[in-house]
Structure 1
Amino acid sequence: MGAIAPRGLISLADEEGNSVSVNVLGLDLRWSAGLDAEIVVGTPFVSGRVDLVLTTSKLERWADALNRLDAGEDVAWMEMSRGPSIFIQLTGERDCPEVVVEDESGSMVTVRVPLVPPDDWIADHRQRLHQVMNHWVPMLSA
């Protein structure tokens, strides 16, 4: 029996019920170099989801973003690509970290989610990325 495919690339949530996650859904059937994925936002006020395609280069840029976050910098991930973008601000408008999900090329909606992740969230997300890359990237064409 094979290993269960890792699905959760990003999972940020707090005790207030605010969350942002990026889930890998599987191989993109239309494009052999991509993974079907989704961004899911949940708060007591608003919730939603948007589709996206992850590539090896986007996953590598997420690794770079985690390094910059670990160094205390705010990051923009997938900002220069078509489709949704994720911005993580370590000190947001409400003096706590916040995640901004922007879907300018699709729905033209931006959602700002304040949340306080656990202390070890960057290490946890490095592990998540490692698992996703080890499982999925060998299946993608160059």
Structure 2
Amino acid sequence: MDDIVPRELICLADDEGNSVAVNVLGRDPRWSAGLKAEIVVRTPFVSGRVDLALSASRLESWADALNRLDAGEDGAWMEMSRGPSIFVQLTGARDCPEVVVEDESGSMVTVRVPLALPDDWIADHQQRLQQVMKHWVPQLSA
């Protein structure tokens, strides 16, 4: 097994100090088929975090969202599930990509973060996802 444990599933950041990340914290001690994770939003104006439970199917749905984004479509992740949702709009209100983190069932807060992203960000995140799935999914039981 690799010495480096993949922790950053999502790391979208720009030079303006805006970022949205999803960090895998480890196996969820309360759910053998899940991973404990968090969504972290940082901007010069607002910062926050929210807990997140990840399963193999949620990781697969992130792969589907990345494929839609790669095809030039906006992407939604965890849109119809309990807990927070992440939406990526390729062209937001400021003519740059925007990430919307919505925690409707918990805090009832929505945060919209404009980001100037590098051209290869989708390929980078597909690779991040593969590393997370390769390391963590075999450890999960149904």
TM-score, structure 2 normalization: 0.98
Cα root mean square deviation, aligned:
1.0
Q: What residue in structure 2 maps to residue 59 of structure 1?
A: 59
Secondary structure at the residue paired with 1:39?
Answer: strand
Residue type at the aligned position of 1:60 = E
| CA distance in structure 1 between the aligned counterparts of 2:82 and 2:101, rounded to whole angstroms | 14
Cα deviation 1:91-142 (Å, max 9, x = unaligned): 0111110000000000000000000111110110011000000000000002
Moved over 4 A (4+): none
| CA distance in structure 2 between the aligned counterparts of 1:2 and 1:109, rounded to whole angstroms | 38
Secondary structure at the residue paired with 1:119?
Answer: coil
What are the ranges of 5 or more consecutive residues in structure 2 without an aligned counterpart? Answer: none
Q: What residue in structure 2 maps to residue 114 of structure 1?
A: 114
Q: What residue in structure 2 maps to residue 101 of structure 1?
A: 101
| CA distance in structure 2 between the aligned counterparts of 1:126 and 1:100, rounded to whole angstroms | 19
Cα deviation 1:60-112 (Å, max 9, x = unaligned): 00001101000000011001110000000000111110000000000000000
Secondary structure at the residue paired with 1:25?
Answer: strand
Identity %: 82
Q: What residue in structure 2 maps to residue 13 of structure 1?
A: 13
| CA distance in structure 1 between the aligned counterparts of 2:52 and 2:67, rounded to whole angstroms | 23
Q: What residue in structure 1 maps to residue 136 of structure 2?
A: 136
Q: What residue in structure 2 maps to residue 88 of structure 1?
A: 88
- Number of positions where the alignment pairs a residue of Structure 1 with one of Structure 2: 142
In the superposition, relative to structure 1, how do residues 120 and 2 fare at CA in structure 2: closer, same or farther (>3 Å)?
closer
The 5 A counterparts of 1:33-44 are 33-44=33-44
Secondary structure at the residue paired with 2:119?
Answer: coil
| CA distance in structure 1 between the aligned counterparts of 2:108 and 2:23, rounded to whole angstroms | 21
The 5 A counterparts of 1:20-39 are 20-39=20-39
Secondary structure at the residue paired with 1:113?
Answer: strand
